[in-house]
Structure 1
Amino acid sequence: MATAPVHMPELVRATSVRQVRLVCGVILFSYVISHFLNHALGNVSVDAMEVGVYYHTAFWQFLPVAIVFYAAALTHMGLGIYALYQRRQFRWRTIEPLQLVLGLSIPALVMAHVIGVRLGQTLYGHQKLYPQELYLFFVASNRIWTMTILLIIAWIHGCIGIFFWLRLKPFFTRAAPYLLAAAVLIPTLALLGVYQGGRSVAIEADDGEWRTHNLTRRQVGTVAEADTLDRITGGLTIGYVGLLGLALAARGVRALRERRGGMIALSYGNGKTVRVPKGLSVLEASLRHNVPHASVCGGRARCSTCRIRIIGDHGALPEPSQREAFVLTRVGATDPSIRLACQLRPTSDLSFFQLFTAHTLSASGQASTPARIGQERYLVSLFVDMRGSTQLAEKRLPFDTVFIVNRFLGAVSQAVVENGGQPNQFVGDGMLALFGLSADPQEACRQALKAAAGIATHIDELNELLSHDLRQPIRFGIGIHGGEVIIGDIGYRDHIVFTALGDAVNVAARLQDMTKTLACEAIVSEEVRRTAGLADDALPQQEVAIRGRDEPMAVRVVADARELAMLVDRGARVAA
């Protein structure tokens, strides 16, 4: 399926500091994985480690790759220090401040290794490889414990970052067991490889000939050169610790200025009011005062669940940042009174109410079943509605009407389930069905089209069964559209349902309504037709205006829904 090109202004608006840090972190984590796999070769032999490090360095020291790598390392470190300064609350979750502390400790721990290997090579031409490094770690000093701690900290820090990145992805639930296995096996094999390699070097180091060939001046340098590198390491370490201290001092200065700048009152619209210093975001203020506030992404501006609506004048509020404006535009929140609580930092008293209520403990103090957090993924929405149910109710007893509507919904649900879909919402005599929860987009589109054909067939059977009691056969309208939606648990306390929210769902509902004016049984969006692989001339095309959209939309009109099954089968055969 072709995708529209991403324009540079939109890409810039969609990019935040956290995303830059994520990209840099992924680059560094890729290096760590490569290094760990190289360490794991120590379980074979030290010679295997040397062969592996040749390919490792050939890639990572290739000039364009090296530039990207070192730029990512410096950027990631700088943004980590900035995060220490910027974050005002450390009570999101235990794992987040842990990630920050581990990340900030890595540069101090890795400094000696980087200076000894990379700067030693640049300044003095040292050729330290695994035999030399393992000798220094296991025989000449007791630095192996420092290096072991560094490896464990770097791996845990990277895994936490990868978890925060992938946990909202639709595939994460299926991939989680494999990712966990990799997260355990890779560092275990790496540490075992370092240990086995170190043992081999410690045994071989007793041989004078081995020392002659592996501990030359060109390989490990002189004592004076080592002292110089140690002084450089010490200076850079002190400088880094100084940067951390500067960030902490800047936090203190900011807190002092905020207190002197005065306090503001935040009113939650339910009688709850808190007083906080100027400069805190609304979400940070909620966390500081233990006010429940929905935030699926943890305040990273990757979702919109922390949205609030400002009560009263909103003209004096700070303008939305590029990232906040992008997220609000993405979810269609064009009302300037709607803001993201994690991004809005008011400078004066503010009244608002939350658009999404946070889940809290029940009265008994026990947490209810955890709600499935929102995920963004491609789904196909099928809306079906029973025609003439109002007239049907006027001429029948209420229980008779309910009986017929239930039989209609049962026939529709059967067709949906038979074709791999999930009946989701029942609204009166209509139903929303979702396809793609466990299928790729192409298969989901084909399932939805075949389900529409199945609905027509099952309704025919129902009309025949009820022919003695119906003056007119039951008619229906179907709208089908696919696209990115948010799926998750929606509701309150014991009334929570799993459903989908998004423009694609709304469009499917609009298309279902249009079947009345276009006198057809189903309307399929061009998106679904193309993704399913149906021929371009399989169904008549028409441009229609969709309420809430500025531009007309191309759709395919289906006079008889039964023909969709044949068209899907034909398209599948052509694709094969």
Structure 2
Amino acid sequence: MTAFKENIKKLTLGIGVRQVRLACGLVLFAYLVSHFVNHALGNISMEALATGVYYHVLFWRFPPVAIMFYGAALVHTGLGIWALYQRREFRWKAMEPLQLVLGLSIPMLIISHIVGVRLGQSLFDHEKLYPQELYAFWVARTYRIWLMTTVLIIAWIHGCIGLYFWLRMKAFFKRAAPFLLAAAVLIPTLALLGFYQGGRSVVADSDDPDWRIINLSRQKVGTTAQQAVLDKITDNLLIGYLALVGFVLLARGVRSLNERRAGMISLSYGNGRTVRVPKGLSVLEASLRYHVPHASVCGGRARCSTCRIRVIGDSSSLPQPSPREAFVLNRVGATDPSVRLACQLRPEADLSFFQLFMPQVISANSPGSHPQRIGQERYLVSMFVDMRGSTRLAENQLPFDTVFIVNRFLGAVSKAVIECGGQPNQFVGDGLLALFGLVADPRTACRQALKAAAMIAVNIDELNQFLSHDLREPIRFGIGIHGGEVIIGDIGYRDHMVFTALGDAVNVAARLQDMTKSLSCEAIVSEEIFITAGLSADLLPQQQVEIRGRSEPMIVRSIADTRTLSALVNDVESAAA
């Protein structure tokens, strides 16, 4: 029971207001797509519209689905209003305030349609379907044509912006973007054309008295008195919604006055820059308000860690991290309590800190930023390779000879990495970080890394033979390999930019490489790599090791001779073929 509770706690740790709003938005967007596809059937015939709406209503009015849908609509609207109140700074990219404004306008524009169709059916048993609604739009109240067209476009744009913010950091987004854009243009276009063609058909049929008797009866559209009741309900709901939005705007003003009366605090950026801000602003909001460059790939949504700061001095008096902030920090291995997310930390007293990421590189609100380069989340395999004994080598060689030998070592390693499909990424002294999976799926990336480890050993053997007359002892190496979700992007300052990966998987690979010294082996590979590569569990002995920065031990495989890895991978690939 305790383990079950612990698993539930881990599952819900990363769920915050934004995640709930996203889930509700996905439900509403699914309804919107269904509705648009139904509209598009108007390009075929009224009979096709009638058939489509039958299945549309059958699904969305199924009690469990209806409860989910209306619940998502209420929660999403409520959280949108809460976002209006909560956000203290709107100097993000223009798309973000546009999304908020469009979202808040949708309930106001669609209230009359909801009341006319759903409440009309619930209160008076009206049966308003496409003939009745299209007649109201195209014959009885023609001004509603533009109202409905506007709300369809606004709802679609709002949903597409939300999907873009959610998907833009996913690994597949760059490949899928052209297809998503085509769908984003094609679906509403066909829907509006179907709406137009259906309207034309109803206008033509409405001159037929028999059609009017069948489609405009009291059972279908109700009486004048009933319509007056529905109009009154619509007006009251509209006034109530506008009053709620007005109340939130008033509350924002009151809060701003109270925060200023409560006192101002100083935020020192560690580079001589200090700003005075009211209590209650997050550090990232303060940076935006006073035009201080601050990195934030996700735009302050707590979906990345690029706005991280390190607090200078005592951090014990700071507000405790929210569950969402704790989840993000734990995911990137930031266990130091002085490291916080700037978008979540709202200090109540003077604060000094410095930013951990250069804002000139990866700021979401920086003009000209490119999401595919400033930050992308994906599964990669990280391999750290380190040359053993380079210090003793430097003591016994001339400086230029040492550089020559180290470069030959790094060249041998890089050649193996490239030939196996990886990318040499960072050279740190006599060590190398290589990445696999930038252009391959996770299983292929894991197999490429294992093959590269075997080829590195072969290349180093050849190097040792070539340098046998110049070395007192052969060159040895240590390799650590681990895979997982990381953030890739350009890191550096101004003209000194490096494309690299950041995340727990990279740190673990470095720790495993260090561990090869104590375990006296050539390589240590995490169990994650073996499972993802599809290798049999009994091919190599496993053991549990403690990883610095991790609360739980990790299962790894130690390999005394990395040459054996090539045969293991080849056997698996041959069996699969």
1:422-441 CA-partner distances (Å, limit 9, x unpaired):
11111122211111112222
1:12 is the counterpart of 2:12: yes
**Number of the residue aligned with 2:413:** 412
In the superposition, the TM-score normalised over structure 1's length comes to: 0.94
In structure 1, distance between residues paired with 2:39 and 2:6: 40
Kept after mapping to 1: 8 A contact 2:301/2:343 = yes
Deviation at 1:369, TM superposition (A): 8.3
In structure 1, distance between residues paired with 2:262 and 2:134: 56
**Number of the residue aligned with 1:55:** 55
- Report the 3-state secondary structure (helix = DSSP H, G, I; strand = E; otherwise coil) of the residue aligned with 1:7: helix
Kept after mapping to 2: 8 A contact 1:380/1:481 = yes
In structure 2, distance between residues paired with 1:320 and 1:429: 39
Structure 1 residues 276-285 or 187-196, which shifts more? 276-285
Task: Give ranges in structure 2 of 5+ residues lacking alignment.
Answer: none
Kept after mapping to 2: 8 A contact 1:371/1:489 = no
Structure 1 residues 375-384 or 192-201, which shifts more? 375-384
- Report the 3-state secondary structure (helix = DSSP H, G, I; strand = E; otherwise coil) of the residue aligned with 2:306: coil
| Percent identity (aligned) | 72
* Amino acid corresponding to residue 462 of structure 2 in structure 1: E
1:212-254 CA-partner distances (Å, limit 9, x unpaired):
2222221111222111111111111111111111111111111
1:388-424 CA-partner distances (Å, limit 9, x unpaired):
3333333333333322322222221121111111111
Deviation at 1:371, TM superposition (A): 8.1
In structure 1, distance between residues paired with 2:121 and 2:266: 59
**Number of the residue aligned with 2:106:** 106
In structure 2, distance between residues paired with 1:153 and 1:101: 10
Matches within 5 A, 1:273-288: 273-288=274-289
Kept after mapping to 2: 8 A contact 1:533/1:575 = no
1:190 is the counterpart of 2:196: no
Deviation at 1:368, TM superposition (A): 9.1
In structure 2, distance between residues paired with 1:528 and 1:360: 31
Kept after mapping to 1: 8 A contact 2:361/2:493 = no
Deviation at 1:316, TM superposition (A): 3.1
Distance 1:368 1:165, change over 3 A: closer
**Number of the residue aligned with 1:203:** 204
Structure 1 residues 330-339 or 28-37, which shifts more? 330-339
Deviation at 1:478, TM superposition (A): 1.7
* Amino acid corresponding to residue 141 of structure 2 in structure 1: S
Distance 1:360 1:151, change over 3 A: same
Kept after mapping to 2: 8 A contact 1:412/1:455 = yes
**Number of the residue aligned with 1:396:** 397
Kept after mapping to 2: 8 A contact 1:42/1:48 = yes
**Number of the residue aligned with 1:214:** 215
* Amino acid corresponding to residue 195 of structure 2 in structure 1: V
Deviation at 1:384, TM superposition (A): 1.5
Matches within 5 A, 1:467-506: 467-506=468-507
In structure 1, distance between residues paired with 2:453 and 2:388: 16
Structure 1 residues 525-534 or 537-546, which shifts more? 537-546
Structure 1 residues 413-422 or 206-215, which shifts more? 206-215
In structure 2, distance between residues paired with 1:68 and 1:91: 34
**Number of the residue aligned with 1:557:** 558
**Number of the residue aligned with 1:165:** 166
- Report the 3-state secondary structure (helix = DSSP H, G, I; strand = E; otherwise coil) of the residue aligned with 1:308: strand
Kept after mapping to 1: 8 A contact 2:311/2:351 = yes
Distance 1:184 1:369, change over 3 A: closer
In structure 2, distance between residues paired with 1:522 and 1:152: 57
Distance 1:426 1:437, change over 3 A: same
1:124-171 CA-partner distances (Å, limit 9, x unpaired):
111111111111111111111100000000000001111111111121
**Number of the residue aligned with 2:26:** 26
**Number of the residue aligned with 1:175:** 176
Deviation at 1:567, TM superposition (A): 0.5
Deviation at 1:45, TM superposition (A): 0.9
Distance 1:269 1:8, change over 3 A: same
In structure 2, distance between residues paired with 1:360 and 1:409: 28
Deviation at 1:64, TM superposition (A): 0.2
Structure 1 residues 45-54 or 218-227, which shifts more? 218-227
1:450 is the counterpart of 2:455: no
Task: Give ranges in structure 1 of 5+ residues lacking alignment.
Answer: none
In structure 1, distance between residues paired with 2:371 and 2:496: 13
Deviation at 1:550, TM superposition (A): 4.2
**Number of the residue aligned with 1:118:** 118
1:242 is the counterpart of 2:272: no
**Number of the residue aligned with 2:153:** 152
**Number of the residue aligned with 1:84:** 84
In the superposition, the TM-score normalised over structure 2's length comes to: 0.94
